[in-house]
Amino acid sequence: MQLQAHGRFNVRQKMTVMANRYVVTVARPDGSEGEVVAFAQQKRMTFKEQVTVYSDESKNRVLFTFEARQVLDVGAVYDVRDETGNLIGTFRKRFAASLLRSTWSLDQPGTTQLTGRERNRVVAVLRRVWEFLPLIDFVPFAWPYHFDFTEGDKRSMAVDKKFGLRDRYVLDIASPDLDRRLAIAQAVALDALQSR
């Protein structure tokens, strides 16, 4: 499958005891899941965040990886590399800008840096309040939240969380030049790394 030819994907989390797993499919015109194009696995309890993304759930072929440059750093830069180790791009959470509304930077060499922010300020504040409630660690924040990635005023990418207890997202890419692997890495990171 030609990954770059598609502009809309579904991302669904699969919970297991030792790893977070994400299935990425092409979104059909009606929004349902089409062909699997990526399967991501994040090991829990590691000192340095690393996620391996395979071409499918068989895990026979690595599609790309993303890994933090630093250990346990809230503002860590994550390098996204192809299967041979070549840099595709980077992303990072902008810690100071994220205190009230999560903000990310997404950078693909040769293009302009994108800034991703939570679309709704009220939901952003509610999500932060939710995280501070006692005994709530095991109950996910079910209300949908959305991120828009822009270059100036032009939206290049959006990630929309669907309402529900299971983490499901729709990744919409408007920019034809944005590497789909970098966009998928950022979408997975919004779930896997959001609370860091």
Q: Domain locations in the chain? A: 3-192
Locate 64 and state its tokens.
């790309």
Q: What is the pTM of this model?
A: 0.86
Residues 72-127 have pLDDT tens digits of 666 789 999 999 999 999 999 887 766 677 889 999 998 879 999 988 776 666 66
Higher pLDDT, 164 or 170: 170
In angstroms, the CA 78 to CA 84 distance is 17
Exposure of 60 by Cβ count < 10 A (0-12 exposed, 13-18 middle, 19+ buried)? exposed
Provide the mean pLDDT of the chain. Answer: 84
> Which residues lie closer than 8 Å to 144 by C-beta, 6 or more apart?
123, 160, 161, 162, 163
Higher pLDDT, 102 or 23: 23
CATH architecture of the domain covering 3-192: Alpha-Beta Barrel (3.20)
In angstroms, the CA 153 to CA 160 distance is 18
Given a cut of 70, is residue 137 above it in pLDDT? Answer: no
Q: Are 97 and 74 in contact (CB under 8 A)?
A: no
pLDDT band at 45 (very low <50, low <70, confident <90, very high): low
SS3 42: strand
Q: For the residues of 139-188, what is the DSSP string, one character each?
A: S---S--EEEEEETTEEEEEEEEPSSSS-EEEEEE--TTS-HHHHHHHHH
Higher pLDDT, 130 or 65: 65
